[in-house]
Structure 1
């Protein structure tokens, strides 16, 4: 029989391993057959002892997905919503992305993709492929087309 203390230790270790959302912890507690008030008490304990902090999760998630995977704001925001974070936490996480870095990253990924597509001779097809790639990474459509206009010469 697993005691409440054992569950608390397991939950704390689960949160200490990497940042988690309340929904992820609730899901894990259900796998351990902990429901209702008991699960909520454990989550409250984890929040009080700072094992669980959705603001911190949002900041780390948004910052790392942008810097490491070079995701755009739309994709990051979508993922944060899918993880059931509040609008406030999403806003806090999105604030981690500096506007200048964002524009520079978009330009870098488009330049790199343009280099990969250097055999493409038709400018319209090149522009389409670049746009599809950047929009797929979650960058805003208007921003993508504006940047493509700057990096692909008009012929």
Structure 2
């Protein structure tokens, strides 16, 4: 009985990773993890990553920009959450700053307003302080900056 272990040649791994990166923008960290999972040796990993960068399959700035746009537009995340998630992926400060420029300031404020009003409508709590806390927790968890959150609470929840 023979069992086949998955081992890849450099060219096979390159092809596989080209497809992986073409399907969706990836960060270096994800690509390296994927290659490690394929049991590639460090020298091969370096060679493949270099190839992917040279051929523009792997572009950390582009990854950061599409990540920021997507998390804001689809998940309605605030900038703090986006920044933290990018940092966890070892994205440079420069690319994080570039990524945040993808978010239109006016759209950002409008989204916070819509999100806060929608969430407030779902909170059944009658106590004003507890209502405020629930809304604040919800928005802060999603990464909205505290000064924006507290200004929004003042605007939306009036003390009796």
TM-score with structure 2 length normalisation?
0.91
Q: Select the residue among 35, 38, 47 that pairs with 2:44.
A: 38
Structure 2 unmatched ranges of 5 or more: 1-6
Matches within 5 A, 1:61-140: 61-117=67-123, 119-140=124-145
Superposition deviation, residue 33 in structure 1: 1.8
C-alpha contact (below 8 Å) 2:8/2:38 kept by paired residues: no
Matched, 1:58 2:64: yes
SS in 1 for 2:16: helix
Superposition deviation, residue 154 in structure 1: 3.1
| Aligned counterparts of 2:43 and 2:116: Cα–Cα separation in 1 | 50
Pairs aligned (count): 154
RMSD: 1.3
Cα distance change of structure 1 residues 143 and 36 upon mapping to structure 2, 3 Å threshold: same
| Aligned counterparts of 2:9 and 2:118: Cα–Cα separation in 1 | 54
| Aligned counterparts of 2:119 and 2:37: Cα–Cα separation in 1 | 43
Please identify runs of 4+ aligned residues in structure 1 that moved more than 6 A: none
| Aligned counterparts of 2:12 and 2:133: Cα–Cα separation in 1 | 55
Partner of 1:25: 31
Residue-by-residue CA offset, 1:80-112 (whole Å, 9 max, x unaligned): 000111111111111111111111111111101
Structure 1 unmatched ranges of 5 or more: none
Partner of 1:153: 158
